Amino acid sequence: MSRPFAGRSEHGAGAVEYGAVVVLVAAIAGGLYAAGIPEKVGADVGAAVCDLTDLTDLTGGTGCGGSDTPGSGEDERDDITTMQYPADPGGQVCLPLCDPERGNKHLDDWPEPPIHPEQGIAIDSAEEYDQTDIDDVSDKVMMNGVPGHQLEIKRTQAYNFATGGDLKGMDNASGALKHFLDGSGETKQIDADDLRKDVPEFDAEVKKANKQIGADAIADAKKRGVTEPVTYPVSTEWNAFGYNKEGTGYIYDDADWINTLGSWQYNQVGEVTVYPPAEPDGEWTQTTTTQTNVKKYYDWDEDKTGPAVKGPMGIESDFSEQDLWNMHRTGIAQEFWIEGSTDKETTVGTG
């Protein structure tokens, strides 16, 4: 299984790339309306663009958030801070630290994650969904004496593979495949804490990132010359995990998550409080509290004709990624977002 598609970037996106995604999304969405894409898809894409850009509602409204949207109309306030209303509607990217606030405190709100690097893939998927006649991609066959299509037989095989013993013990992979075949397109939640437990390599990377956030906060506080505790809001870029640097395989071994996510993107939000030393030669200390967000777009590669899924006993599926992609574009299955967030985690350190 290859997800995302081979050749697509697996690196965290920077601010310039996020800006490019916004432009791309707006351009694609505008094209959808001009091309007469069905109303439901058009409305969904319009809502996505509003979420990303806060542009005028592409469905004909006067704005994405109406007259009550902060920062618009006569009620605009000049005392709204970036913590209350992020300047970037896609999320405040602090890389990873926002400007600190005085005091040892727990923040009322943490920054939101930034725009996801796969947002463009999701828009493409919405454009492709249910736009192809099944007669154009599948031979006609008799199914129990009733005319049907070979692709519908493949869909039944996929559902049996997901619900039968072929994926026994792989509950996440089975659930994701069934969700795809059910065709709702709704976001599917996963247990990100279980993901960390099952994939120790990912758990180690998250812990390393938390340690670095704390170290960065102490370094920044020293540079600022603070003399009292300060609290930094935290929001990192999306970072890729799963593939090795060569892109030839995975850096972890859990078959369930490989068949569910393959690789994925993660982001951390939270806060870190830095305490200057009480004595001139004392140590600086920090307390970091974060939540790790995991997000992935569950999609299939139109060019891959080999088995799409492999079970725990090495049993390979009779259907390919291309078959699953054809199910999506003919409307008998639908791609979707997978996401989950860990519990809050607190670490302490010195520097």
pLDDT at 105: 73
Half-sphere exposure at residue 18, Cβ-oriented, CA atoms within 13 angstroms: 18
**What ranges do the domains of the chain cover?**
15-350
Tokens of 247: 């892109």
pTM for the whole structure: 0.73
- Higher-pLDDT residue of 147 and 292 is 292
Burial class (CB in 10 A: 0-12, 13-18, 19+), 305: exposed
* pLDDT tens readout for residues 301-315: 999 999 999 888 888
- pLDDT band, residue 13 (cuts 50/70/90): very low
Q: How much of the chain, in percent, has pLDDT values that exceed 90?
A: 59
Question: What residues are paired with 39 via a beta bridge?
Answer: none
Which segments of the chain are extended strands (E)?
101-102, 140-143, 146-149, 188-189, 230-235, 239-241, 264-275, 285-298, 336-341, 345-350
* pLDDT tens readout for residues 68-81: 333 333 444 343 23
Please provide the average confidence, as pLDDT, over all residues in the chain. Answer: 79
| Single-letter amino acid code for the residue at 122 | A
Q: How much of the chain, in percent, has pLDDT values that exceed 70?
A: 74
pLDDT at 2: 40
Tokens of 138: 């599948």
* pLDDT tens readout for residues 291-343: 999 999 999 999 999 999 988 888 899 999 999 999 999 999 999 999 999 99
* pLDDT tens readout for residues 27-41: 444 554 444 444 444
